[in-house]
């Protein structure tokens, strides 16, 4: 792991280049691999640079919320495994991992990427619960975007198991039909360091940033935003970041659709 201090990082950024040679608006190389865990209904592994995140989707049957009796739902959880970074400690999920999971949830939920009504089995009684479990296995910055992408990739290859109404049991060995995922709300995270705005922060940039903005979007519509970091953002900076995020997310979707 490289080590750099903020003063020196600013010197480098002032020359309009990043410590790994990238330009401010460059994303690192992305690798997506699906179906990496057979017992999951859907799974994927995403690598951005050296950051690696694994996501698995499991389907369970539960009772719907009283105010949405004909809708299933998603439940997103995330864990930063201790192996991912020597500084990660043991214990219950850190608040950062909780935030990461909630931002991934927001992007999927608010964009209505999954038609929750199609997850209904018996109105008022039984619905499908889509459990999305995120595990970060190597942290080199921007686990947020890797997690979101892995979740989407896992959902897109998720097959529905069979629910037997008589026995009220789920048959995981029989999987047919795809999960009703109709959109891909891709997330892009940007860091502000000094007055510079950088796409896809690496580990050192994430550690030293003043503020970070994560934006989930489809086309020109923005479905979720989260500002992180203790610093502040000016309106113009938000505008710049939104523009960049929308562009990056459009490009990413193009690439995924090609595959």
Minimal distance, residue 121 CB to other proteins, in Å: 18
**Cβ of residue 217: shortest distance to other proteins, in angstroms?**
28
Task: For the CB of residue 257, give the shortest distance to other proteins in the complex, in Å.
Answer: 26
Closest CA to 195 of 205, 180, 210: 210
**Nearest residue to 233 (alpha-carbon basis) of 187, 192, 188:** 192
User: Given the complex with other proteins, which of 60 and 110 has the nearer CB atom?
Assistant: 60
Shorter beta-carbon distance to other proteins: residue 77 or 229: 77
How many C-alpha atoms does 139 have within 13 Å on its Cβ side? 21
Which residue, 39 or 167, has its beta carbon nearer to other proteins? Answer: 39
Structure tokens at 98: 């909780």
Binding site for other proteins (CB under 8 A): 1-5, 7-8, 11-12, 15, 17-21, 36-41, 43, 50, 52, 54, 56-58, 60, 77, 79, 81-86, 90, 92-93, 131, 133, 135, 137-140, 172-173
Phi-psi region of 155 (alpha: psi -120 to 50; beta: other; left: phi over 0): alpha
Closest CA to 183 of 109, 76, 111: 111
Alpha-helical regions (H) of 118-179: 143-156
Using DSSP's 3-state secondary structure scheme, residue 218 falls into: strand
Q: Please state the closest distance from residue 215 (CB atom) to other proteins, in A.
A: 27
Which CB atom, from 4 or from 238, has the smaller least distance to other proteins?
4
Minimum separation from the CB atom of position 6 to other proteins (A): 9
Given the complex with other proteins, which of 58 and 212 has the nearer CB atom? Answer: 58
């Amino acid at each position: 792991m490289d080590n750099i201090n903020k003063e020196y990082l600013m010197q480098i950024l002032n020359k309009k280049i990043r410590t790994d040679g990238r330009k401010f608006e460059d994303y690192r190389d992305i690798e997506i691999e699906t179906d990496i865990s057979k017992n999951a209904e859907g799974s994927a592994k995403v690598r951005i640079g050296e950051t690696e995140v694994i996501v698995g989707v499991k389907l369970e049957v539960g009772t719907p919320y009283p105010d949405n009796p004909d809708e299933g739902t998603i439940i997103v959880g995330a864990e930063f495994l201790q192996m991912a970074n020597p500084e990660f400690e043991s214990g219950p999920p850190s608040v950062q991992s909780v935030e990461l999971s909630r931002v991934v949830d927001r992007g999927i939920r608010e964009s209505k990427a999954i038609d929750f009504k199609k997850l209904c089995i018996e109105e008022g009684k039984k619905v499908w619960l889509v459990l999305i479990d995120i595990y970060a296995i190597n942290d080199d910055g921007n686990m947020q975007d890797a997690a979101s992408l892995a979740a989407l990739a896992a959902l897109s290859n998720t097959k529905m198991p069979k629910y037997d109404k008589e026995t009220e049991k789920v048959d995981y060995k029989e999987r047919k039909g795809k999960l009703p995922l109709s959109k891909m709300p891709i997330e892009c995270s940007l860091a502000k360091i000094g007055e510079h705005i950088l796409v896809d922060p690496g580990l050192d940039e994430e550690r030293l940033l003043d503020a970070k903005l994560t934006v989930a979007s489809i086309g020109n519509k923005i479905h979720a935003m989260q500002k992180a970091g203790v610093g502040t953002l000016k309106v113009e900076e938000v505008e710049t970041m939104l523009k960049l995020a929308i562009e990056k997310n459009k490009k990413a979707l193009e690439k995924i659709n090609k595959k």
